[in-house]
Structure 1
Amino acid sequence: MKKSISLLLILLLTICCKNEGNLTFEPLQLTGNSCKECPKIEINIPRALDETAIARAINSALEEELITLLSFDEEREIDKIDDAIASFTNSFKELKTKFPDETVGWEAEVNSEIVYEDENILTLIFNAYTFTGGAHGYGSITFLNFDKRKGIELENWELFEDMEGFQKFAETKFRIQEDIPQIDNINITGFMFERDIFHLAENIGYTEDGIQLIYNQYEVASYADGPKILALPYQEVNKYLKRIVKP
């Protein structure tokens, strides 16, 4: 019995140590107005509750992503989520008034969650889908990386100690994954890298399984091809990273 209690205490201490320093979040759900002439808007994001610089940086970054996604009013600057939702709604209503028989419903759906956190780094993934007419909507995935100690959002180049080396390594792995011969033009199988030169994805993030690169639709391939995702284990890329992760 004493042995069982000791093992339980060790397990609890291990869990507490593992979660020590993790930020506190609550789910934030936002929706648009519910009416026949209103677009469908559904937003589910985490909201950091800590009174710290990093919590403020995370909440600000998420707000900026939402405002950029939903703002359709070019005549005034929008700096609040509620105003961005109103902008999206009003733009649809105006179009519906002009073309009542031709305008189909607009949609905006956002889901965001934490995909990695340790004592140094926190990464959020921001999944967004919008439809504002046309043949199809557009979905995108964005990584938001944060330095918890400095309390700032990180640019991609700030993730790496050796970005040039990482790019060469990522290209080799990308070619293997997509069956592109190492010595041939990167676009020989139908990709659309600018100037026929491989480049890193705009979205790079930490995940539990390694560094992930996501090329969204149209970035290097057609819409029909969907997003291209390259996952690279930490044991293979730690030598390129500024913040090493133990596998």
Structure 2
Amino acid sequence: MRKFCFAVIILLQLAAVGCKRAPDAAAPSSLVFVQKKFDKSVPGCGDKQKREEPCVTFRVSWVEATSAASDQARTRINAAILASLQPMEAPRGFADEAAGVAEDYQKFHSEFPESEITYFVRRTADILLSNASMLSVEVTEEEFKGGAHPNARRTYLNMNPSTGQDLALTDLLRNGALPKLTEVAEKRFRWEREVPEGKKLSESGFTFPDDKFALSKTWGVSPRGLLFHYNAYEIAPYASGPTTVMLPWNEIRDLIKKEAGLVPAGS
């Protein structure tokens, strides 16, 4: 009898393992964030009585993890966020970079005192999605330091919240799902940019390699679905602007691994 009971217990344990549920997309993350900000302007900027000429401003806002699954994960996440907010060629630290921008502005203004050009740098890093399986951070940049127009750019950080390690797109997809995901994204892209099916993308001004649609390497994860962003100049002239393609979960749920824990119940 005791042997029979033991066998039943083992079978129940095996059944429990076999029926292990996939991660819940609504499960909360162990991460806790605070908002940080750096703001530096030329003295008197914004006050016409103190400073009549144009100004230079340097503003950065970002999220910083104060709690995570481990100190190592928290350190990795914060380091990745800060690194994404500064160009590789810039001096390390916002204060030193802002001082360099102000110096360049002062030199320009001394050479062209009648110019009304204003220098500015604006960067943000905000949470797009944070749950037990994924941390996706959207990084936006906009700056003007002379030239024909301001420069704007968007990137994403996609990390495992438990480790702080980067996640690749293929980490989220079922085996062999990438071609189908690309097909779905192309349909959305054509709809977004009003390019009829069958018409060459190059005929509408887009410069994909070999005139074949390709997923942008700039991607993020939102509560609504996967985002693919094409920055200005990436596949079209500046005048065409950037393009963002959203792939809703209900259209791609069968392409996403259940263990990725991303697709909300009911999608």
Shorter-chain TM-score tier: 0.7 to 0.9
Gaps of 5+ in 1: 1-17, 72-77
1:173 maps to which of 188, 193, 205: 188
CA 43–70 in structure 1, closer or farther in 2 if over 3 Å, else same: farther
Sequence identity of aligned pairs in percent? 23
Q: Higher relative contact order at CA 8 Å, sep ≥6: structure 1 or structure 2?
A: 2
Residue pair 1:103, 1:133 contacting (<8 A) in 2 also: no
Residue pair 1:205, 1:213 contacting (<8 A) in 2 also: yes
Residue pair 1:31, 1:42 contacting (<8 A) in 2 also: yes
Normalised to the residue count of structure 2, the TM-score between the two structures is 0.73
4+ runs deviating over 6 angstroms: none
Shift of 1:158: 4.0
Q: Kindly provide the CA deviation profile for residues 93-132 of structure 1, in whole angstroms up to 9, marking residues without a partner as x.
A: 3433444444722100122211111111011111211001
Measure the CA separation in 2 of the matches of 1:178 and 1:34: 41
What is residue 29 of structure 1 aligned with on the other side? 37
The number of residue pairs the alignment matches comes to 224
Gaps of 5+ in 2: 1-25, 45-53
What is residue 60 of structure 1 aligned with on the other side? 79
Amino acid at match of 1:214: H
Q: Kindly provide the CA deviation profile for residues 50-98 of structure 1, in whole angstroms up to 9, marking residues without a partner as x.
A: 2533322221122112221882xxxxxx333333333333333343344
What is residue 238 of structure 1 aligned with on the other side? 253
Measure the CA separation in 2 of the matches of 1:57 and 1:239: 31
What is residue 17 of structure 2 aligned with on the other side? none
**In structure 1, the residue corresponding to 2:123 is in which secondary structure?**
strand
What is residue 3 of structure 1 aligned with on the other side? none
Shift of 1:45: 1.0
Measure the CA separation in 1 of the matches of 2:42 and 2:27: 39
Measure the CA separation in 1 of the matches of 2:256 and 2:195: 26
Considering only CA atoms, is the larger Rg found in Structure 1 or Structure 2? 2
**In structure 2, the residue corresponding to 1:153 is in which secondary structure?**
coil
Q: Which moved more, 1:121-130 or 1:153-162?
A: 153-162
**In structure 2, the residue corresponding to 1:136 is in which secondary structure?**
coil
Measure the CA separation in 1 of the matches of 2:92 and 2:172: 28
**In structure 1, the residue corresponding to 2:202 is in which secondary structure?**
coil
Q: What are the residue-to-residue correspondences of 1:128-207 with 2, within 5 Å?
A: 128-161=141-174, 162-207=177-222
RMSD: 2.6
Normalised to the residue count of structure 1, the TM-score between the two structures is 0.79
Shift of 1:233: 0.9
